[in-house]
Structure 1
């Protein structure tokens, strides 16, 4: 892939771990493989991710973040209104998140969407009904939504940000209207939506299996000036096991593959001949394909390990044997370096690309 000349630099503001691949460790190397220069600011500096029993390290304070931002701006390394891309992810508390939001506002000042800042905001709040961060982060994220070009929440984060439980198709429509019309987000990607009974009934067969518990849904929605948003979706096969950093990797790949409408050319492996495609659906299709390849490679590697390192998740057994969970986590760390060919598409891919193409959801509205 060749990146567009006006936005080949990305500022990444998210977590860092010494061991493993979550946050920036899952995002930066893939973006570099795609041809971007990536400037990295860590919101936390931890030994490893929280799924391990023990974790050491520190959180970057708001004052430290502001000091870094101010020095970069003073040196002309961050100039509001100029062409760049911004990626923000896990930030542990509201005070630090507000500091990140202030920077995003400064960078947004004077920026035209087609030529200036392209901002992907991953509102990392939690998953499966559980918050990972302080509850007061919710209101801060809501205040940051209008600054974003693209957001990549999972289904739980959509529910949290919009106060809309996703229990029906009308509720999903309401949540998208809230994000587009109330918070003025141009592009929304919702990840990891469970294929519950109401969604299976509403989903057209062309978008993938609708009766399998082994799939989740990914949905994109791009706002239109006067019409309802353009919605694309795809039922994505799941892979057994718990893998961390997947959302961080996916969000980075969406940003890295996103091309504004004015610069959308047939230089990606996802052809511009796609019927009714949008720049967002093309980027998300590429990100889904690559992410699934990485998870598959990681899973295949874990299956070669001794049985003690690939045991299924079992909270009771993990509590009795601290080493059991640690061994399993180590075996399922994403194979980011080993899978680098997936980021540069250095392989035959025509069949895989077509299988991962997100399709328009006719009749969604």
Structure 2
């Protein structure tokens, strides 16, 4: 099914990491947002040669003072006028506090600001940031319109280890009720047996598939206690920048006014579920394109991960990482919606809270 692009426009302030080579952070977010018709103002929180997955990388991290100076001069020049705010990776507690302070000021000046907070804290049980960043992110949650944490980040933000239905309910309720987040999007959730059993039959992957080859995406909106979900096949190998691309597409497709929200909500969809369906569909299509391109590379650029060999021969890992950079330019028609892709529509999970 072809995805029809939304009529978009306006100005987005993007505050996240930057790399000279490859597509993570702002490099994975800004171009897609421009493809969707937005003017994007960019503040880089780090300026690196490439992402850290390469093993070797270098560059600089913006200090809180440097970030605040940029924000203040933009304010003085009346250049800080976004309709939407997107924040991603920020290094260190002081720099994160500076970004949070800006979000407060923007929210005060523009109460209807759409703010997507991607709390980049870690993944797969490992923190990417210092623990003193966590309470600052928690203080920023009430400012957000949408948050897009992964499974591990939900656990870190709520302090709840999610192992069953009750803990999943408790964690999402805490984000809504304690931290007052209107819209929560949890993407790339491992389909563990208890979660598969919890899913309604119409949301489960095909019976002949391996659970480990599928991931789940869940959205929850505070108003109406509306929950939607979808399972999707995961691709082999490691990709970087996927969460950054996904979050950009979510804010890019989220309606900017009540009238737009009514226009885009049809059938069982809500403004949030529709935006996430677009983001999920396009992100997955981009990963398929990237995976196919990587398979066509010379053998030395697609060697499997071997930590011992990678340590002895750093270029082995670097070639593999280089071959799996997102094909954003080659896939720009996917982003714009002019190339047909499978529409992975999130479906209502009507009995979620009673399960």
Q: Distance in 2 between matches of 1:100 and 1:154?
A: 21
The 5 Å alignment of 1:200-211 reads 200-209=196-205
Q: 1:144 to 1:179 in 2, by over 3 A?
A: same
Q: How does 1:109-128 map to 2 (within 5 A)?
A: 109-113=108-112, 117-128=113-124
**Is the CA contact 2:205–2:214 (under 8 Å) kept in the aligned structure 1?**
yes
8 Å CA contact 1:33, 1:340 repeated in 2:
yes
**What is the distance in 2 between the residues matched to 1:122 and 1:70?**
23
Paired residue for 1:236? Answer: 232
- Per the alignment, residue 217 of structure 1 pairs with 216
Q: 1: distance between equivalents of 2:105 and 2:345? A: 36
Higher relative contact order (CA 8 A, sep 6+): 2
Report the counterpart of residue 349 of structure 2 in structure 1: 361
1:57-90, CA deviations, whole angstroms, 9 ceiling, x for partnerless residues?
10011111011000100011125xxx61000000
1:9 aligns with 11
1:155 aligned residue (151, 173, 191): 151
Is contact 1:260–1:279 with CA below 8 Å preserved after alignment? Answer: no
CA drift at 1:103: 0.2
| Partner Cα separation in structure 2 for residue 287 and residue 247 of structure 1 | 10
Which runs of 4 or more aligned residues in structure 1 lie more than 2 Å from their structure 2 counterparts after TM superposition? 1-5, 110-113, 263-267, 271-274
2:29 and 2:109 map into 1 onto residues whose CA distance is: 28
- SS in structure 1 at match of 2:351: coil
Shift of 1:168: 0.4
Q: Is the 8 A contact 2:144 2:181 kept in 1?
A: yes
Q: C-alpha deviations, 1:271-316, integer Å up to 9, x for none?
A: 64332x1111000000000001111100000001111111222222
CA distance in 2 between counterparts of 1:261 and 1:86 reads: 15
Structure 1 partner of 2:277: 285
Match of 2:317 in 1: 325
Distance 2:50 2:27 in 1: 11
Q: How does the TM-score come out when normalised to structure 2?
A: 0.94
Alpha-carbon contact 1:101-1:144 (below 8 Å) kept:
yes
- Secondary structure in 1 matching 2:152: helix
Structure 2 match to 1:71: 73
C-alpha separation between the residues in 2 aligned to 1:259 and 1:131? 32
Question: Is contact 1:261–1:279 with CA below 8 Å preserved after alignment?
Answer: no
Does 2:174 match 1:172?
Answer: no
Secondary structure in structure 1 of the residue aligned to 2:79: coil
Give the TM-score, by structure 1 length.
0.92
Structure 2 equivalent of residue 308 of structure 1: 300
Which residue of 2 is the match for residue 344 of structure 1? 336
